[in-house]
Amino acid sequence: MSNSSFKYAKSLEKTDFKIGIAKSKWNDRYVDMLVDSSVLHLKQNNIKNIKIIEVPGTWELVHATNALLEKYECDGVIAIGVIIRGETSHYDLISQNVVSGLMNLTLKTSKPVTLGILATENEAQAEERSNPNKLNKGKEFAQTILEVLNLYI
Ligand code: RBF
């Protein structure tokens, strides 16, 4: 279910961007479904230059995103991870600080970073938002980075 009424752009003027994807291995069952639909949407928009870095967990997405923006000179990055609430406070530590880390990177580099992180209460919510037959968000992540990049051409 979505409460968003905005519409994504129907067409994009420019698509020759280098896009980075940082993805985590934790909860890879869900992460991989999100990555697959992001990549598919990028390819459908003629993006040929996609660099993917896989890291252990969502926490490491901050480091990988920095590398994609600086070392690999990507125009923008989609950071994809899934954090599922457990019995310890790790969920809060990771989710809040990763978001801050990614925000700092987008400000430091003046390049867009799409927040492709699902922070869910349980596996069922993660499944609902990553399964392509349900509410998979991967396409939205890809569309968002392309639209934001098109603001500055
Ligand atoms: N990484 C995730 O991407 N999603 C999680 O739900 C997740 N839960 C974690 C829970 C605990 C208790 C720990 C210790 C780590 C968890 N991580 C998770 C891994 C984390 O992002 C990172 O890879 C590790 O903390 C090592 O830096």
Reported as a single tens digit per residue, the pLDDT across 48-103 is 999 999 999 999 999 999 999 999 999 999 999 999 999 899 999 999 999 999 99
Residue 3 has pLDDT above 70, yes or no: no
Confidence of residue 153 (pLDDT cuts 50, 70, 90): confident
Judge: domain 18-150, CATH 1.20.1560.10.
no
CA atoms within 13 A on the CB side of 140: 14
CA distances to 1, 5, 7, 52, 153 from 79, rounded to whole Å, are: 23, 24, 22, 10, 22
Question: How far is C-alpha 54 from the chain's CA centre?
Answer: 12
Read off the pLDDT of each residue in 8-18 and give the average, rounded to a whole number. Answer: 90
CB-based contacts of 130, cutoff 8 Å, min separation 6: 30, 31, 33, 34, 82, 118, 136, 137, 138
- Going by pLDDT thresholds of 50, 70 and 90, the confidence category of residue 140 is very high
Tell me what pLDDT residue 2 has. 55
Amino acid at 72: Y
Between the CA of 12 and the centroid of ligand 1 the distance, in Å, is: 36
Q: What is the pLDDT of residues 14-57, one digit of tens each?
A: 989 999 999 999 999 999 999 999 999 999 999 999 999 999 99
Q: Check residue 152 and give its pLDDT.
A: 86
**Which residue out of 48, 90, 108, 134 is catalytically annotated?**
90
Q: pLDDT confidence of 6, banded at 50, 70, 90? A: confident
Place of tokens 């490491």: 60
Q: What residues are in contact with ligand 1 under a 6 Å CB criterion?
A: 24, 26-27, 56-60, 81-84, 86, 88, 90, 94
90 is an active site residue: yes
Burial of 54 (0-12, 13-18, 19+ CB in 10 A): middle
Helices 90-109 and 61-69 cross at an angle (nearest 10°) of: 10
Residue owning tokens 């909860």? 27
What is the length of the chain?
A: 153
